[in-house]
Structure 1
């Protein structure tokens, strides 16, 4: 109870990921081993027009239903009918914890953020439940293939709605980056070395997440009598998913905002390397376009933001996963004397802008992080540096930079006028 005598908001763990077998095993283990925990399993048809849910507790299935939202389901939002189910469970069901399991195409951190800020019939969900942890289920034997897979989710009936054009690699990378906890399994893995490399990839891409591993119990002397419903699996403890209070809504907003902070590189292991490249100089758009193939070779995942010289007002997000590369306009750089624009920015962005402010460039900068296997870091940095403006080009000034040809014009549109 709260000091005022009101019931405390029910904690919710949100579990996503491409490994549906691992996800369902985790759910069974958690509900069997954790008193007072229920599992709300969400499913969405491939066309995104029908969503169903099933509620399980220690005894098995106890409730369920289906609904047809007024518009197709989204990868980052639950339909209102499912939010209403969440509210009802939080208010009346009496569970101590809820594990919300999602379809592979739903992005768990954004679903968690949506739940945190949603209202149902004028009631704030945050008054009745709170997101405790965001988790991702990973099959180590599949991870490297998933991160390199250029197929669309729709090709594997994993898309959420007709407009979901994401690739398998994009979804796999975003699940890892959004997770507070990663739950892994490598049952019947024919290549332990590949699993070790997969763990290294997890450490590099999900660097802020803790990890727990599900194993198949082959040891009769383990001293544990597993319930039949758990299928002979065990993990050290479900507490890794429950009660950690790890979810940080501000961190999720920042990661998906116009100017996300790059990942800090981890130490190389099993051939997996991550490197961070940054520059206060802008990039020459045509030289960058010509070098994209070389830059992305051997890269499994890269993220960050760009400053293109001929677009001095715009922030451009860079995101690659496997064979897929996207460069998108996500906002504008903060003007020096526009107090309203500074107030609209997040506190974290204002802090970094003030710390990194340059009298001429302002907050403008390029920052990218690349992860790959056997990545040639010096060659990659050399290619990126070759795309920057030269001293002679810099001396011409911003007005001249804007006159250069723009190979990204069709994709990015026009740069907004200066303030």
Structure 2
């Protein structure tokens, strides 16, 4: 069996620029080279890049065609990572993400996009060790349950970026292999609640608590970096290590606790009959308030072929396409063994593999009210009896699709509504 790349790559993400940069700096001391892009000047087509090694830092100002994340990746980051991978003096690379960059989408691009002059993606020459997420113990829970937009915090990547701080905070924590919880919660009870959420949101992640925000003392920096490296090396076989999972992967990987704890609970909703599109659209309101995150695959009656992916968080809703149901023309040979096995085991004589699978992380909402609202959105027996031809004529708020050509990157969801726009 051929050995993998010798040079490693670690992604570091978080909403707090200072704390996240400090954690990335501690890893650089242990690993080698730090690469960071600051996208705050993207509106003027300018991106600031910083590369730090043992000899110091080098700052560059990049003038890109669009100043967007996709252009930064394609035109600068991927070629730079390729050059570093080819440098025998580089042991490991630490990639510090701008707070507005989604780690899952970035990792997907690293796995899929081929830089000019390369025979494959950079992950062919850089071993992705894992993703380190940095969260502020005192503010993360409020951010994850709030509805502030990234633009309001100065973190949006475009003028029309409608993502919320909650979406980003949850995505960064959920995709991490190692979570650094920095600072202190306002009260011991707040810490209990934070741990209860993280147990359910990121059950596979190693968790490291740093009582005070990472400082600049060399011995503290070295100790933190060494501890994170140890945690990355100790990741189990089920760790993601920056791999973007298929939308049909099990929604409860890592065996998160389902029981209610400190007011937090994980609700699994599964049904075989389809949703009425308009009633589902109305019912989504219950997923936007009092929840940390909801995600999963749904089937609306008006689109019997399509698997829709719903991901509400922080007052905003993301809707994406997750392919075609096998019962409606999907090709068995084109899906992985896990999906084939799940479809075969749960095959329904009328609906095939079509079903509803949603997982909701609840904190202030009533789980029973969520179940009731979603149940009411399913087709009634009379509607079910109408048949597929009639279902296709139902008014469908989910028919709209929007694809930004600059955002066509693996892992980027193809549609986003804010609560007010739905």
| Higher relative contact order structure (alpha carbons within 8 Å, sequence separation ≥ 6) | 2
1:216 is paired with a residue whose SS is coil
CA displacement at 1:375 relative to structure 2: 3.9
Q: Distance in 2 between matches of 1:62 and 1:265?
A: 41
- The answer on 1:324 being equivalent to 2:316 is yes
1:276: Cα distance to partner?
A: 0.4
Aligned to 1:209: 205
Match among 161, 182, 195 for residue 199 of structure 1: 195
User: Does the aligned pair in 2 maintain the 1:47–1:162 contact within 8 Å?
Assistant: no
Choose the corresponding residue for 2:391, options 401, 407, 414: 401
Q: Matched residue pairs, number? A: 393
Indicate how the Cα distance of structure 1 residues 217 and 63 shifts in structure 2: closer, same or farther if over 3 A, else same. closer
CA deviation map 1:164-207 (0-9, x unaligned):
331111111111221122111124x4323213312221121112
Q: Residue 275 of structure 2 aligns with which residue?
A: 283
Unaligned runs of 5+ in 1: 219-225, 414-419
**What pairs up with 1:64-83 in 2 under 5 angstroms?**
64-74=59-69, 78-83=73-78
- Superposed CA deviations along residues 137-166 of structure 1, whole A, max 9, x for unmatched, are 111111112112322212222122345331
Give the CA deviation at 1:31: 3.3
TM-score normalised by length of structure 1:
0.82
Residues 3 and 383 of structure 1: is their aligned pair in 2 closer, same or farther, counting only changes over 3 Å? closer
User: CA contact under 8 A between 1:265 and 1:276: conserved in structure 2?
Assistant: no
Structure 1 residues 3 and 178: alpha-carbon distance in aligned structure 2, compared to 1, 3 A threshold: closer
Contact 1:15 1:101 in 2 (8 A): yes
Match of 1:416 in 2: none
Deviating more after overlay: 44-53 vs 353-362 = 44-53
Cα gap change, 1:250/1:353 in structure 2, threshold over 3 Å: closer, same or farther? Answer: farther
Structure 1 distance, partners of 2:242, 2:8, is 18
**8 Å contact 2:41–2:48 — kept in the other structure?**
no
1:287-343 deviation digits (Å, cap 9, x = unpaired): 33343334544222111121112322222221111211234444332246x57x333
Distance 1:379 1:3 in 2: 53
> Aligned to 2:97, which of 94, 99, 102?
102
Which of these two proteins has the greater Rg computed from alpha carbons?
Answer: 1
Query: Alpha carbons of 1:242 and 1:289: their partners in 2 closer, same or farther (altered >3 Å)?
Result: closer
Q: Is the 8 A contact 2:46 2:62 kept in 1?
A: yes
Match of 2:292 among 282, 287, 300: 300
Normalized against structure 2, the TM-score is what? 0.82
In the alignment, which residue of structure 1 is the partner of 2:303?
Answer: 311
- The separation in 1 between residues aligned to 2:377 and 2:115, in whole angstroms, is 50
Show CA shifts across 1:256-276 (max 9, x none): x4x453235523322111110
